[in-house]
Structure 1
Amino acid sequence: MLRVDWLDKQMDKCDLMAEWLYREFGYEFAQQSLSNWQHEFADGQRDGNWKCLIATERDQLLGGATLARNDLSDRPDLGPWLACVFIAPEARCRGLATRLIEGICEHAREEGVTALYLHTHSQSHYYTRLGWEVLERFEAWGKEQCLMSRRL
């Protein structure tokens, strides 16, 4: 049975989630080791810097999405952020990413957040379908990025 829950309640899955993110978004971690990121991500579950919502099935991690305090160092004026959205390849095309993203948005709304931000280099069309708007385009990590926001 599919289960959606906060990662801080299933910390045994934290290192794997962090590893998936490190491998998928490696260009963002060029200056950081995997073990360093795993430690930062685990700490972020406790201090709220990287609050991750995960999907599991039969106790197997399928993916997650994160509410981050700061996900773009060049834009400390913006936040919080939808970040670290990743679904394992074998679990894709089931609507999990959308469900997790909406879970993050609902949680942020309940916390009094009125807007979320994200950046992506390849999924702007997907996020547009979910109600996100492109604010600007910029260059980072050798790729054109879209800075997007969504009113809650």
Structure 2
Amino acid sequence: MLTLDWLRHHPEHTEQLAEWLYQQFPYEFSEQSLLDWQAEFVAGQHNGDWEMLVALDHGQLLGCAGLAKDDLPLRAELGPWLACVYVRPEARGQGLAERLVERICATARERGHARLYLHTYDRADYYARRGWALLERFQAWGNPQHLMCRQL
């Protein structure tokens, strides 16, 4: 049975998920060791910096999406952010990422936020089809990036 829940309720998955994200988004962690990122990630589940929503099937971790205070140092005035959307390859193509993203959007709206931001280098079309608007293009981490926003 598929459930969506906050990672803080499932701490046994924290280190593994941090490692997956470190591998999936290596350009963002180029100046940080895996151990340092794992420590920051664990702390973020409790201090609100990196609240992660996870998808679990009978306790097996399938994917995640984050609600982050700050996900782009170049634009510290913006936030909150949809961050670190990831679904394991064997669980893709079933709408899981969309369910995770929608729950993050609903949570941000419930907390009184009028908009949510994200940045991506390779999924701008995916997000545009789901109501996200392109705000600007920029260069970071050696790739062209898209800064996007969604009204909640």
TM band (smaller chain) = over 0.9
**Could you say which residue in structure 2 is the equivalent of 1:149?**
149
Q: Distance in 1 between matches of 2:139 and 2:69?
A: 21
CA distances 1:27-81 after superposition (whole Å, capped 9, x unpaired):
1100001111111011000001000000011111001000000000010110000
2:48 corresponds to: 48
1:59 aligned partner, one-letter code: G
Amino acid at match of 1:101: V
TM-score, normalisation: structure 2: 0.99
Residue type at the aligned position of 1:118: L
Equivalent residue number for residue 114 of structure 1: 114
Task: Tell me the equivalent position of 2:79.
Answer: 79
Give the structure-1-normalised TM-score: 0.99
> Gapped runs of 5+ residues in structure 1?
none
> Once superposed, what is the RMSD of the aligned Cα atoms?
0.5
Look up the equivalent residue of 1:39 and give its one-letter code: A
Aligned to 1:7: 7
- Superposed CA deviations along residues 83-118 of structure 1, whole A, max 9, x for unmatched, are 000001111111110000000000000000000000
| Rounded Cα–Cα distance in structure 1 between residues aligned with 2:114 and 2:79 | 10
1:74 is paired with a residue whose SS is: helix
* Distance in structure 1 (CA, Å) of the matches to 2:132 and 2:13: 29
Partner in structure 2 of residue 132 of structure 1: 132
Which residue identity does 2:69 align to in structure 1?
R
1:64 equivalenced with 2:71 (yes/no): no
Say which SS state the counterpart of residue 62 (structure 1) adopts. strand
- Gaps spanning 5+ residues in structure 2: where? none
Identity %: 55
In the alignment, residue 17 of structure 1 is paired with which amino acid? L
Aligned to 1:37: 37
